[in-house]
Amino acid sequence: MIEIIPAIDLIEGKCVRLTQGDYGQKTIYNENPLDVAMEFEDAGLKRLHLVDLDGAKAKKVINWKVLERIASKTKLYIDFGGGVQSEDDLRVVFESGAKQVTGGSIAVKQPELFQHWLSVYGGEKIILGADAKNEKIAVSGWEEGTQIWVYDFVEEYVEKGVKYAISTDVAKDGLLQGPSFDLYRNLQDKCPDLKIIASGGVSGLEDVEKLAEMNIYGVIIGKAIYENRISLTDLQRFIV
């Protein structure tokens, strides 16, 4: 059964969503992310993808207090990403209650440090962030493109111990036009043992069902929930 992972994206401590990673196209959905997290938990969901968009831009963790509040007030299994680029950032995030941490930019720009984190914390706690634009890795809150093919990038890290990867097709994110099924299919072909978490573009329940049929490990859902395209009740059928 596919893991359902609702998303909360943070700017200035508020629950927001961007369109295609554009900070100029921001919608605020709730002033209090804890309320949103508690709604997810009340609906029976067990996981949460928490993204510090301020941190991604600033290249250091900013919204750790929101993480701490949600972790202390709920039992959600939280993976945290955005701005984790130093040992101090990583320590603060784990101490604040995250169970897993996603490293994207760090894996591109400081591969030796990311490799060190993998060796210290293990592949169960460190998730590879592999966000792509035209199948090439995008970093720093998607504000920077690279010439690195996403498939080669992920395969190389799987060989180094990565077990989980979150991959967003930037072109799909926030548009509610469906996920990048080809991207995930290609990643599966390259890395059959990798636990792939699909992110971006989910528009309705049929997208979730299709990803489940593909045996994708997990799916992150944000805007489709906030725009009432998918109800929390709908998602309960996927909860084991």
- Between 77-86, 136-145, 192-201, the lowest mean confidence (pLDDT) is in 136-145
| Paired strand residues for 126 | 101
| pLDDT classification of 25: cutoffs 50, 70, 90 | confident
68-77, 148-157, 165-174, 222-231: segment of lowest average pLDDT: 165-174
As a whole number, mean pLDDT of residues 111-133 equals: 96
Instruction: With beta carbons less than 8 A apart as the criterion, state whether 50 and 101 touch.
Output: no
User: Is residue 138 predicted with pLDDT exceeding 90?
Assistant: no
pLDDT beyond 80 at 4: yes
Among residues 131, 169, 173, 207, which one is catalytic? 131
Paired strand residues for 176: none
The yes-or-no answer on residue 88 being catalytic is no
Which pLDDT band, with edges at 50, 70 and 90, does 145 fall under?
confident
- For residue 53, what are its two tokens? 């968009």
Mean pLDDT of 70-88: 96
Q: Which residues of 165-175 are buried (b: 16+ CB within 10 A; e: fewer)?
A: bbbbbbbbbbe
Among 235, 229, 234, 233, residue whose Cα is nearest residue 219? 235
The amino acid present at 114, given as its one-letter code, is: F
- Strands 218-221, 3-11: pairing is parallel
The closest of 208, 210, 114 to 165, measured between CA atoms, is 114
* Contact status, residue 80 vs residue 50, Cβ threshold 8 Å: yes
Confidence of residue 196 (pLDDT cuts 50, 70, 90): very high
Report angle CA 10, 49, 91 to the nearest 5 degrees.
Answer: 80
| pLDDT at 84 > cutoff 90 | yes
pLDDT (0 to 100) of residue 159: 97
Residue 143 pLDDT > 70, yes or no?
A: no
Average pLDDT, the chain: 93
Q: What pLDDT, in 10s, does the model give residues 163-186? A: 999 998 887 766 678 999 999 999
Kindly state the tokens that stand for 148: 């690195």
pLDDT above 80 for 69: yes
131 as an active site residue: the answer is: yes
Q: How far apart are CA 152 and CA 169, in angstroms?
A: 16
